[in-house]
Amino acid sequence: MTAHDLKLSRRAALRGMAGLVIGVALPLPALAQSGAARAFQAGSGVAAFVPNAFVRVGVDDTVTVLIKHIEFGQGPFTGLATLVAEEMDADWSKVRAEHAPANAELYKNLAFGAQGTGGSTAIANSYEQMRKAGAAARAMLVQAAAEAWRVPASEITIEQGVLRHPSGKQGRFGEFAQAASRLPVPADPPLKDPSTFRLIGRDHAVARLDSASKSNGTAQFTIDIREPGMLTVLVARPPRFGGKVASFDDKAARAVPGVVDVKQISSGVAIYASGFWPARKGREALRVTWDDTGAERRSSDQLIAEYRALARRPGTVAGAHGDAEAALARAERVIEAEFVFPYLAHAPMEPLDGFLRWDGERAVARFGSQLQTGEHMTIAKILGLTPDKVELETMLAGGSFGRRAQQTMHFAAELAESAKAIGPGRPVKLVWTREDDIRGGYYRSLFVHRFRGGLRDGKITAWSSTSVGQSILKGSLFEAMIKDGIDPTSVEGANELPYAIADFRSDLHTTQVGVPVLWWRSVGHSHTGYAVECFVDELLEATGQDPVAGRLALMSAAPRPARVLRAVAELARRSGPGPVNGRARGVAVVESFGSFIAQIAEVSAARGGEPRVHKVWCAVDCGVAVNPDVIRAQMEGGIGFGLGHALFGDVALDEGRPVPANFDTYRSLRIQEMPEVEVTILPSTEKPTGVGEPGVPPIGPAVANAMARLGLGRPRRLPIVREAV
Amino acid sequence: MANYNVTVNGRVHSVDVEADTPLLWVLRDAIGLTGTKFGCGIAQCGACTVFLDGRPLRSCSLPVSAIGSAQVTTIEGLSGREAEAVQRAWASRDVPQCGYCQSGQVMSAVALLRKTPKPSDRDIDLAMNGNICRCATYVRIRAAIKDAAVTLGG
């Protein structure tokens, strides 16, 4: 496997869904008949012109863009609509976005082959597709106008949704919508030359489409779904991972007013009630005896001790060139560092929830579905229906950070089982509480990385790392993507460096632990980025080199990382006076998901040595910057998310049981801890790459490297503030 | 179950719930006002912030039996110049990402500006630190509050 393959590995992993799921379970003719496929057909509602699966033009000039990616804050509603509006030269005030239905044939992620969102691919895989969808709509509207006006189509221009001819004729989209709908759809409509873009890459050319509804309480999330006769479902799940229901007594639970039923399902015991509160009280009153025979009982400290021992032995090679061991033996000095990363919960503001209505013959599921194809199939299979009898509507979701992209489809399964267990005709809304969320597993894996670096003649001559942790892919639908014993998501960022070091090795021990793990915003880079960027900083310091100049000297073969690093150094210099009065700066640069981000953090020591981060400068190269302000927002948010977890995040296990339960014990970054952030987006003509995740990895090591300059040392065990637990 | 009369956004609602039912679930499940969100259930995250007689309060931790004749205001009933200024600033700064916490953020920001028309950074920290945003939109929340303060002439 080449380094390039590894970098794209998660996409490849997700791509596996296509072969594993669609090919087997979703015959194409079924799609055409599904309710989902009907949803975009012309002739209903205000949509008069539907040139393709992505664009609807109404007689009222409204351009509605169907978004195949879930919107949970990262901005695909605005981003994908921008691509369509650009090619149509639409009036942005008339542009709307809504989620596309679940339909793998029409709405697959081109990077996966199945419908789903992840790996920061939304813009990257849609860039040409959505522009073409807009260009086709434009060509047909122009043709309709040309026929109506009896002029050559080539003489018609469009500006902000108004078609114009030099003769003075003009008209809006809506006027030509009906006529356009009768024209043939062009197979390969011409795309604009990027030099003529009016929206793409133009700062503040578009406002987010979802800001107003998310500021006045009208945005509809899954938890807001209400239907007559709907029951709220909470599930009592085992306190240890791998535990099972031995027996339960539901007498007291059933006595709680509002509780309607109690049923055992695969994941535990489901309580059905008239609302959330009675369901919660019912669950509290339920007595379950758990069978912990097969449960994981180790504590975090025990796992860390085992991982540390493993890290002293060579693992399976994940990347190597030269001979790291020989070079370490020849070195004048060898520096060792061991980094320990805890389990982390994603804790999106809206905990997992879903709605399902089923009459025995057809079903409608509505929730924040992130891997629609797999979830659609899972629900259909459990309910014993063919996929065309199941509609899946994607809802706005209150965050995800990876939590809704489940390699096991466990939430969709629990939702379908909840509905099935109580029988047809009872719509259910399954809700996880915050405690369910934080104690529910699917964490960022606990990891230990041991690094050794060899120094000679003032240079870094050898680099060796051993990584120890659980695999996300193992035992899942995507297991086939593990190649030669390496789960690429375990070592991404560690098995290939932007730094030219002659003798290099990265290896991996994959551990067996009964705690379910999952990709967590920036995946492997969430830990490898910290370890690598702390370690290189430490080696540069040991050889008396400047952290920026020293990195740049190693980056001769890495022009894009070098460019963001130079840019952030320049930005931090320009932005104000240097470190003063007990403040120091630290730097880090990480490539992830094809985007390059460098950050500098200015830090002081608050009480008890707890770092206080005052300001962060951030330089990003994500290829063509489609929506600069969305990119800026993702950098700000990524920095806050990364910082909060580096400082405080820890789901410690005590004899297998998660210790934190809610935001009182799983400390989240709050406004007074958020640094000022200044972002520069580097101009680029490269293909656009993602921004949802890449802002996260550099902030932790940038803070740690600043702490070293304050004399506090680089924390080797996260979280940095450990008394929080 | 017992019957309670709860005044929400100026209207009296008669609800039949258990005495310990938190106001949050009375609003969401009994009355159908879903703008106020559930985030933690233990008054740690602020997603459920409403006004009780004008003061911001976490509705997830206030039992319906304790409300009495107090006036409840939710995001749906928010009005006045501070509310308009805040919501306009929120939209023009594109503050929300996932948006789930933002009803609570807006309620806390409006309460702050009603009391402190020209808040300092420290005032903002104190008023807003009970509202968690996992997307970490805090930079823009701070900026939007300052924009709104300028709009209000504070």
Chain B residue at shortest CA distance from A629: B94
Taking CA–CA distances from A368, the nearest residue in chain B reads B98
Clarify whether residues A331 and A406 are in a common domain: no
Q: At what angle do helices B121-128 and B102-115 cross, to 10 degrees?
A: 130
- Would you call A344 an interface residue with chain B, using a CB distance cutoff of 8 Å? no
How far, CA to CA in Å, does A33 sit from each of A27, A100, A476, A697?
11, 16, 30, 44
Domain assignment present for residue A27? The answer is no
What's the token pair of residue A319? 């990347």
Inter-chain residue contact A207 with B92, CB threshold 8 Å:
yes
Domain co-membership, A414 together with A451: no
pLDDT at A46: 59
In a domain, A169, yes or no: yes
Q: How far apart are CA A500 and CA A84, in angstroms?
A: 41
φ, ψ dihedrals at A711, nearest 5°: 85, 10
Cβ–Cβ contact A72 with B under 8 A:
yes
A203 in a structural domain: no
Q: Write the pLDDT tens digit of every residue in A236-287.
A: 999 999 999 999 999 999 999 999 999 999 999 999 999 999 999 999 999 9
Which stretch of DSSP H or E encloses residue A428?
A: strand A428-431
Amino acid at A721: V
**Spatial separation of the C-alpha atoms in residues A600 and A722, rounded to whole Å:** 23
Q: Assess if residue A594 is contained within a domain.
A: yes
In contact, A267 and A314? CB cutoff 8 Å: no
DSSP bridge partners of A346: none
For residue A19, report the phi and psi dihedrals to the nearest 5 degrees. -65, -40
Q: What is the pLDDT of residue A23?
A: 28
Whether residue A104 is found in the same domain as residue A191: yes
Contacts of A539 (CB under 8 A, 6+ apart): A335, A453, A455, A460
Chain A touched by B53 (CB under 8 Å): no
Buried b (16+ CB within 10 A) or exposed e, B125-140: bebbebbbbbbbbbbb
Q: Kindly report the CA angle at A481 between A476 and A485, in degrees rounded to 5?
A: 95
Q: Rounded distance, CA A710 to CA A713, Å?
A: 8
A95-99 β-sheet, strand order: A47-49, A55-58, A63-67, A95-99
Q: Domain check: are A453 and A396 in the same one?
A: no
Task: Give tens-digit pLDDT for A68-95.
Answer: 999 999 999 999 999 999 999 999 999 9
> Binning pLDDT at 50, 70 and 90, where does residue A725 land?
very low
A255 and A334 inside one domain? no
Residue A36 host element (H or E) = helix A35-38
Whether residue A160 is found in the same domain as residue A228: no
Residue A39 in this model has a pLDDT that exceeds 60: no
Q: Please report whether residue A477 resides in a domain.
A: yes
**pLDDT tens-place string over residues A380-431:** 999 999 999 999 999 999 999 999 999 999 999 999 999 999 999 999 999 9
Structure token pair of residue A165: 């001819």
What does the longest C-alpha to C-alpha distance in chain B come to? 49
Residue A723's pLDDT band (boundaries 50, 70, 90)?
A: low
In the prediction, which pLDDT does A48 show?
87
Q: Do the domains spanning B2-77 and B81-151 agree at the CATH topology level?
A: no
User: Quick check: A37 and A132 in contact, CB under 8 A?
Assistant: no
Rounded Cα gap, residues A535 and A558, in angstroms: 18
Residue A670 carries which DSSP code? -
Task: Specify whether A504 is located in the same domain as A450.
Answer: yes
Q: Where are the domains of chain B?
A: 2-77, 81-151
Contact assignment for A349 to B39 by CB distance below 8 Å? yes
CA-to-CA separations, A553 to A110, A421, A451, A499, A558, in angstroms, rounded? 37, 63, 21, 9, 10
The pLDDT tens digits for A650-701 are 999 999 999 999 999 999 999 999 999 999 999 999 999 999 999 999 999 9
**β-pair partners for A394:** A367
Share of chain A above pLDDT 70, in %: 93
Task: Please give the residue range of the domain that contains residue A647.
Answer: 300-344+442-709
Strands (DSSP E) contained in A266-401 are 268-273, 287-291, 316-321, 333-341, 353-358, 363-367, 390-394
Q: Indicate which of A277, A433, A673 best probes the interface with B, i.e. most B CBs within 10 Å of its own CB.
A: A277
Average pLDDT, chain A: 92
Contact status of A255 with chain B (Cβ, < 8 Å) = no
Q: Tell me: ipTM over 0.90.
A: yes
Q: Is residue A5 part of a domain?
A: no
Of the candidates A75, A637, A671, the beta carbon closest to that of B128 is on: A671
Q: Are residues A395 and A472 in the same domain?
A: no
Instruction: Please give the pLDDT value at position A476.
Output: 87
Mean pLDDT, 10 residues at a time, over chain B (154 residues)? 96 98 98 98 98 98 97 98 98 98 98 97 98 98 98 86
Asked if the structure places residue A13 within a domain, the reply is: no
Distance of CA A34 to the CA centre of its chain: 28
Distant-in-sequence, close-in-space partners of A77: CB < 8 Å, separation ≥ 6: A67, A71, A97, A208, A209, A210
**Domain termination residue (choose one: A389, A411, A431):** A431
Q: Which residue of A has its CA nearest to B26?
A: A277
DSSP secondary structure letters along A244-302: EEEEEE-HHHHHSTTEEEEEEETTEEEEEESSHHHHHHHHHH-EEEEE-TT-----HHH
Query: Is residue A65 a contact partner of residue A95, using CB atoms and an 8 Å limit?
Result: yes
Number of domains in chain A: 3
Are residues A89 and A61 part of one domain? Answer: yes
B96 in contact with chain A, both atoms CB, cutoff 8 A: yes
Number of C-beta neighbours around residue A445 at 10 A: 29
User: What pLDDT does residue A20 have?
Assistant: 32
The class that CATH gives domain B2-77 is: alpha beta
Architecture in CATH for domain B81-151: Orthogonal Bundle (1.10)
Task: Give the strand order in the sheet containing A447-456.
Answer: A316-321, A503-511, A459-470, A447-456, A333-341
The answer on A261 and A277 residing in a single domain is yes
Q: What is the pTM of this model?
A: 0.94
- From CA A625, how far away is CA A83, in angstroms rounded? 12
Closest alpha carbon to A651 in A628, A667, A639, A630: A667
Domain CATH for A411: 3.30.365.10
Q: Do the domain assignments include residue A209?
A: no
Looking at the structure, tell me whether residues A304 and A272 fall in a common domain. no
Give per-residue pLDDT as tens, A155-200: 999 999 999 999 999 999 999 999 999 999 998 999 999 999 999 9
Spell out which residues of chain B touch residue A399, defining contact as CB-CB under 8 Å. 97-98, 100, 134-135
